[in-house]
Chain A
Amino acid sequence: MSATTLDAHASAKKRKTSLHNQRLWALWGSYAALAVFVVIFLVPPFYTVITSLKSSAEISAQTGSPWMVNHPTLENFWYLITYPNFQTYYLNSAMITAVTVAVSMTISIMAAFSLSRMGFWGSQTLSTGVFLTYLVPPSLLFIPLFQIVGMLGLINNLWCLALLYPTLAVPFCTWIMIGYFSSIPKELDEAALIDGASYIQILLKIFIPVAMPGIIAATIFAFTVAWGAFLYPLAYLYTSNQMVLTVGIISDLIRGDVFQWGKIMAACLLASLPPIVIYACLMDYYVAGLTAGATKG
């Protein structure tokens, strides 16, 4: 083997080693960053679980580590499950969320289809406008909305939320759906048009089945908005029979300066169950739906 070949071999080996080291460092860096995020995000739920399993006496005791449970109990959960108000909040949240999701998705899908496919005058500007409305913070809107809700006679009426939540969910859901619909090749609707489909048939028979991952992503978003919204129910509802989980928990379980931490934490966990189940089952669709349109024309 000549000297030149040996040199080339050595230099190639050196380059390979250097690449290997760089990759190793990148991996270690990624894992370190991920570990920090995992700790930051998982400590609060962990603490919630720990506290929910403690009795009031154990929570208020000054001895022992607050991160350990010495005498685990399900009394907080049992109290909430048998507590009529909590059942009402849960039912109210479920009803309002179901209606919000149904209304938001119906509006979003139809709006996104017309904005992305029907190509009418001003559709581009409207698409941008839809997204811009999402940027307006709800805290800016709740005072003017209070007047509207008042005018409609819906103050302290649970169903005012069915009117208000879609204003939060529709813009972003429409935006997700526009992205997804835009990633569907134009030839598909042209083929359907030639096959004899009307626009509504194209939407129902082609677009909705093809865009199901996007629809699921948007549905999850609408669900999250409706299930977790706090400001509007706090502003517009004040009796127990009308409240939803988010405000019901704090208004019932915090009395003056007495915080029933065990029950609050148990209530939070019970309230988190539906989103956790939905995210766990549909995570793949959610990610696919959010990223669609980002890479395809």
Chain B
Amino acid sequence: MAEVSCRKVVKEYDGGVQAVKGIDLDIADHEFVVLVGPSGCGKSTTLRMIAGLEEITGGEIWIGGDVVNDVPPRDRDIAMVFQNYALYPHMSVFDNMAFGLKLRKFPKDEIKRRVDEAARILDIGVLLDRKPRALSGGQRQRVAMGRAIVRNPKVFLFDEPLSNLDAKLRVQMRTEIKKVHQTVKTTTVYVTHDQIEAMTLADRVVVMNHGIIEQVGSPAEVYHRPTSRFVAGFIGSPAMNFLPCRIDEAAGGGLSVRINDAIKIAIPAERTARYLPFKGKEMVFGIRPEHLTQRKDEGRPGFEPVDLLVDVVEPMGMETMVHFFVDGAPICARLDPATNAEPEKMLGLTADMNQMHIMEKDTGKVVY
């Protein structure tokens, strides 16, 4: 097992397109790090560079204290799980898992011991004689993980391993992956575009966009203290609501967020100092759907009333999503299923301003 480091890593393709623009990242031994971001953000390229499947245009990649820029994949002591499983179709499950060990000339009894152990961890012991075509999607993904585990590598790399599975199986396999990591504790780099996967699996989440790292932090950090509008909007489902605003002086002193003539929401007193330098400036106001609740807690500090016209109501069983439009911008509130919200009617909401975010309009930087 080992730590992984990227130092100013750049990947430039023919024609000058930069997929990765000089990223720095340190992954500790035993850590489970998830690279997350939209399509084309450079997360898979970064993973493939760590694997040695893509050449590095600039910078250095370190695995276990060694620079591996020019080390071929087979000598990096890594194992990778692919989105489409990449099982060898002509080999049995046992042979798929044993392939890497056979190439490395492990003794037969050691190969058998390791495969049996991995099969036990993944509960695929009864499948060892089957060919991949006789397995379901979830079983194939388990075998792919087994192939990685038997090698006992320094680092596990996962490239969107759950994307080909249906929603139910994805949740199940997510738990399996987490359980496997808790058991074997191998340093893991996991790529996904699914922020729920990122949040549930990661020790630390790396949010990427346009070839750069926007933020690195624990799932709670990136969720509650996003550093940019991109991270704030990308992490969380439904996404954070954004509204253009101006920081104004409130009637009784202090500051308020002015959305338009009708909507002015007071900023909690303890945040006044933070936003004072931006008084009078055009900013962006951000609040998560769960911080807009149906009118309650009035009078509690930081809980401010807002009245909005309901557009669409989406009951989801355990919660109800209610959608509004404010000056053409969509707003979503996650309400109790007992809500009486009805389309085309005004609804009294409470905004938990203790959880609000203010971002600079031009840079998208969140003000702390």
Binding site for B on A (CB under 8 A): 185, 187-188, 190-198, 201, 205-206, 209-210
Contact = CB atoms under 8 A, between A and B. Distances in A.
A196 B88 contact: no
B82 A195 contact: no
Given A185-B84, A210-B89, A193 B147 contact: no
Contacts of A195: 74, 99-100, 103, 147, 151
A197 B147 CA distance: 14
Instruction: Report whether over half of chain A's contact residues are helix, strand or loop; otherwise say mixed.
Output: helix
7 contacts: A185-B84, A187-B86, A190-B80, A192-B88, A195-B99, A196-B103, A210-B88
B73 interface: yes
Interface string B67-79: 0000011100011
Interface in B32-86: 51-53, 72-74, 78-80, 82-84, 86
Contacts of B168: none
A185 B86 contact: yes
B80 A191 contact: yes
B90 interface: yes
Contacts, number: 56
A286 B41 CA distance: 43
Contacts of A196: 74, 100, 103-104
Given A185-B84, A187-B82, A193 B90 contact: no
Nearest to A197: B103
A193 B104 CA distance: 12
A193 B74 contact: yes
B88 A188 contact: yes
B88 A206 contact: yes
Q: What 6 A-B pairs are tightest by C-beta distance, nearest first?
A: A195-B100, A187-B86, A191-B86, A196-B74, A196-B103, A209-B90
A201 B78 contact: no
Contacts of A197: 74, 99, 103
Given A187-B82, A187-B84, A201-B103, A194 B74 contact: yes
Contacts of B104: 196
A196 B99 CA distance: 9
A206 to B, nearest CB: 6
